[in-house]
Structure formats: structure tokens, C-alpha cells
Amino acid sequence: MKEAKFQVFHESHCQMHCFLIADIGEDNIILGYLFFEAANPMIDWPTGKVHRALVLTEIRPMPATDMRTNYVR
């Protein structure tokens, strides 16, 4: 199973979370208890709406630099 790291922005909070990646059909994402406990967003459960923006940004590793191309004489 693959893993991805995301920064989660909600109100004035920013936290890094690890997510497992899986083919789950029609759903784009399923968030569990550990995520909700850490992020603690305000949710209107009858409508399923999160109050204020909840933004996930993937953290991708920087590609390794080839030191041979950076050589200056």
C-alpha cells in the first residue's frame, strides 16, 4: 500500500498528516477518527459540511540534484 504526506490547513492551524493511498472506487478520500481528532474541524453533521476551508496539500520530496550539472569552473 502506498503512503502520501499532506499538509492540512484549517483556520489558523497547519499540520502534517500521513495518508494511505488505495483505490476506493467513487470516493476521492475517506478521513478517519485519528484525522478528525488531530484537525478538529467544525462539522455540521446533518449537512456534511465543514465550517471554513479545509485544505490538503500534498508534500512531495524534492528530486535529487545531479551535482555533475552544477559544476562551475
Q: Flag whether 28 is in a domain.
A: yes
Q: Flag whether 14 is in a domain.
A: yes
pTM: 0.58
pLDDT at 46: 95
Number of domains present in the structure of the chain = 1
Q: Which residues span the domain enclosing 29? A: 1-38
State how far the Cα of 22 lies from the Cα of 43, in Å rounded to an integer: 25
Q: How confident is the model at residue 26 (pLDDT cuts 50, 70, 90)?
A: confident
The per-residue pLDDT of the chain, averaged, comes to 81
Residue reference for cell 453533521? 45
Q: Residue 16 pLDDT > 80, yes or no?
A: yes
Count the Cβ atoms, other than its own, within 10 Å of residue 31. 14
pLDDT-above-90 percentage for the chain: 4
57 forms beta bridges with 7
